[in-house]
Amino acid sequence: MTEQTPEDSLSPSDEETPSESELRKLSPFELKDELIHVADEAVKTRAAVMLNAGRGNPNWIATTPREAFFLLGQFALAESRRAWDEPDVGLAGMPRSPGIARRLHDFLDASDDAEAVQLLRGALAYGETELGFNPDRFVWELTDAVIGDNYPVPDRMLVHAERIVHEYLMRELCGGKPPHGRFDLFAVEGGTAAMTYLFRSLMVNGLLRKGDTIALGAPIFTPYLEIPRLEEFDLRTVDIQQRTHTKDGMHTWQYPDAELRKLEDPRIKAFFVVNPSNPGAVAIRKESIDRLVELVRTRRPDLLIITDDVYGTFVNGFRSLAADLPRNTLLVYSYSKHFGCTGWRLGVVALHEDNILDEALARQPAPERARLEKRYGSITLDPDRMKFIDRMVADSRAVALNHTAGLSLPQQLQMTLFSLFSLLDKHDVYKKRCQRICHERLEALFEGMGLHLKKDPLRTAYYQTLDLEAWCREHIGEDFVRFVEAHHDPLDIVFTLARRHGVVLLNGSGFEGPPWSARVSLANLDETAYPRIGSDLQDVVRRAIDEWLEAGGALPPDLH
């Protein structure tokens, strides 16, 4: 066996990075910047290409709804000039409603843009026949939205946009069987804004208080870990772990019954969950959903559930917790992953019209209601009856700016067109293609690692989180695991990949996942990159094994 050089070591040198104790404090998304720097330096010396599989930004986009947006923009400008036109100074008026639906039909008939035209024609027919929209009012909302010449009215969400997005959420996130009643929607600047607004409004309305306990479905997207620790929230957290092992040393990322039973504790005010999970990338199995539903209905009817379902479209037949527990659930959804639109900042919060939050507000003691009446008294004559979701809208603009609240109209229009694109895709051609992209990349990753990939219908394949410790314990043995833990830091995995191979992954520990794990994003690189990433991961394990053998370790017979 050849002697290892410093370059071959698993440990990052002090000259290249801050100390490991300092790095452990960072969110994986901040640590990523350090890894990119290390990987960039590495590829310069090797004339290689850096592979950044750290972020979950997809490298595909939905084209047709974007083409429809720009085509509608051309029509809207013509409508503006029809109202008032001073071409010498580049000035026009505001679109007018009477007859506007007929003029859009005429405009589409004269257009050559087949895909976008087909979507817009289908959208008009869907709105008029399926949803019963008044044609001129519907088309005027679309036209005025793309121009962006008005504040959002209503501020929570445009009327027609809300109906269409509601239909989209029911179709994509309710497994073909939506609950009775309707959800009120709040259009927001992506899922991150939704999280920010949720935490703040729950606190200012006294539904969560400093020192309260919340549960987190861990591992979980890191902001859900970091926000409760901030001074203005100061919430205690309990992890509901989803690390069920399989016999091959992999994780199913499902909740054992014993973990779900933690939610019986009445001190837990809310359960925050990402479903399908991030970084685990699987949907909650039906058996666990059934147990959770039973728990809420029989033991914890007061439990608030916040479910972030951004990856729901990557699992066939996905069913949100909001579908089975609509009274207890706040639903967060972002369009970013499915449609490749992180830059658009499109998200929505959904709260059923019959919900425990509004009931809790009505039951608050008189001094608390008086405090909140004073807070919201400038925007309504009856603040005591103000819905929680409308309080979120006001809180998002510090209440005083409620009259200018709401997501920008062009953003709401693009969200509407994305929703219509899905609703009119009766055979799910686009969705199936996005799912296939991720699964093909996952298969390529496992081929590069030399591992067999088992099928799992609940797997999104948007990420793959690999727990090297669990795999090595199962296939190599406890002695090897103890050796690695004694001689290396868990962050050595991602730093060795960056330094030696120019590969950037996120550390699973940053999501409160297994300490010796790494998350691979399968969304943002071409399929050809993943066999190399898999091979590089295999190389990291092989070098650790070589180091152990040099120290006197012995492999199991089947690995010789």
Tens digits of residue pLDDT in 111-169: 987 999 999 999 999 999 999 999 999 999 999 999 999 999 999 999 999 999 999 99
Nearest 5°: phi and psi at 174? -120, 15
| Arithmetic mean of pLDDT, 463-482 | 93
559 domain-assigned: no
Average pLDDT over every residue of 260-285: 98
Residue 14: pLDDT over 90: no
Calpha distance 335→309 (Å, rounded) = 10
Token reading at 416 = 């509407």
Q: What is the mean pLDDT of residues 397-415?
A: 97
Cα 267 to the center of its chain, rounded Å: 27
185-242 pLDDT, tens digit each: 999 999 999 999 999 999 999 999 999 999 999 999 999 999 999 999 999 999 999 9
> Which DSSP state fits 216?
E
Residue 12 has pLDDT above 70, yes or no: no
Peptide bond into 531 cis (omega under 30): no
The set of residues, in sequence order, having a beta carbon less than 8 Å from that of 210 and lying 6+ positions away, is 203, 233, 234, 235
Cα–Cα distance, 135 to 123 (Å, whole number): 11
Tell me: do 347 and 253 sit in the same domain.
yes
DSSP category for residue 452: P
Determine, yes or no, domain membership for 153.
no
In a domain, 215, yes or no: yes
Strand partners, 216: 239, 272
* pLDDT confidence bin for 19, thresholds 50/70/90: low
User: Do 329 and 322 meet the contact criterion of CB atoms below 8 Å apart?
Assistant: yes
Q: Are both 241 and 95 inside the same structural domain?
A: no
- pLDDT score at 560: 57
The answer to whether residues 347 and 338 touch, using CB atoms and an 8 Å cutoff, is no
CATH number of the domain residue 468 falls in? 3.90.1150.10
Same structural domain, 187 and 325: yes
Same domain, 488 and 399: no
Is the pLDDT at 520 greater than 50? The verdict is yes
pLDDT surpassing 90 at residue 515: yes
For residues 487 and 435, is the Cβ–Cβ distance under 8 A? no
Q: What is the rounded distance in angstroms from the CA atom of residue 448 to the CA atom of residue 503?
A: 14
Whether residues 205 and 136 fall in one domain = no
The DSSP symbol for 314 reads: G
Q: What is the pLDDT of residue 545?
A: 94
**Predicted confidence band at 556 (pLDDT cuts at 50, 70, 90)?**
confident
pLDDT above 60: residue 40: yes
pLDDT, mean of residues 406-425: 98
Question: Where residue 101 sits, what CATH number does that domain have?
Answer: 1.10.20.110
- Examine residue 556 and say whether the peptide bond preceding it is cis (omega within 30 degrees of 0): no
Is it the case that residue 46 has pLDDT exceeding 80? no
Q: Provide CB contacts within 8 A for 162, sequence distance 6+.
A: 156, 185, 187
Q: What is the pLDDT of residue 1?
A: 33
Q: What is the pLDDT of residue 44?
A: 84
Check whether the bond before 219 is cis (ω within 30° of 0). yes
Report how far apart, in Å, the C-alpha atoms of 249 and of each of 33, 117, 386 are: 30, 51, 51
What is the distance between the alpha carbons of residues 560 and 556, in angstroms, rounded to a whole number?
7
* Average pLDDT over all residues of the chain: 93
Query: In the predicted model, what is the mean pLDDT of residues 29-58?
Result: 89
Q: How confident is the model at residue 557 (pLDDT cuts 50, 70, 90)?
A: confident
Asked whether residue 398 falls in the same domain as residue 453, the answer is: no
User: What's the rounded Cα separation, in Å, for the pair 326 and 51?
Assistant: 41
How many residues are given for the chain? 560
Across 536-546, average pLDDT: 95
- Are 198 and 99 contained in the same domain? no
**Residue that is last in its domain, among 147, 180, 201:** 147
Q: Are residues 76 and 118 in the same domain?
A: yes
Domain stop point among 121, 147, 173: 147
CATH of the domain at 217: 3.40.640.10
Query: Residue 559 and residue 476: Cα distance in Å, rounded?
Result: 8
Band of residue 18 on the pLDDT scale cut at 50, 70, 90: low
- CB of 51 closer than 8 Å to CB of 516: no
**C-alpha pair distances (Å), 460 with each of 45, 168, 246, 437, 482:** 36, 19, 18, 11, 33
The answer to whether position 154 is within a domain reads no
Confidence grade of residue 20 (pLDDT, cut at 50, 70, 90): low
187 within some domain: yes
| Among candidate residues 118, 147, 176, the one where a domain is terminated | 147
- Closest alpha carbon to 445 in 544, 537, 545, 518: 537
C-alpha span between 216 and 225 (Å, rounded) = 8
Read off the pLDDT band of 2 (50, 70, 90): very low
- Owning domain of residue 443: 6-56+429-552
In a domain, 24, yes or no: yes
Task: Judge whether residue 11 has pLDDT over 70.
Answer: no
Residue pair 100/136 in contact (Cβ under 8 Å)? The answer is yes
What mean pLDDT comes out for the span 345-351?
98
Residue 304 lies in a domain: yes
Indicate if 438 and 419 belong to the same structural domain: no
Are 180 and 203 in a shared domain? yes
Q: Please count the structural domains in the chain.
A: 3
pLDDT at residue 50, rounded to an integer: 93
Cα separation of the two ends of the chain: 15
**What pLDDT is attached to residue 400?**
96
Residue recorded with tokens 């040198």: 13
Q: What is the pTM of this model?
A: 0.94
pLDDT at 559: 66
Residues 418 and 501 in one domain: no
Q: Is residue 87 part of a domain?
A: yes
Task: Decide if pLDDT at 425 tops 70.
Answer: yes
Q: Is the pLDDT of residue 15 over 50?
A: no
Q: Indicate if 102 and 236 belong to the same structural domain.
A: no
- Residue 466: beta bridge partners? 518
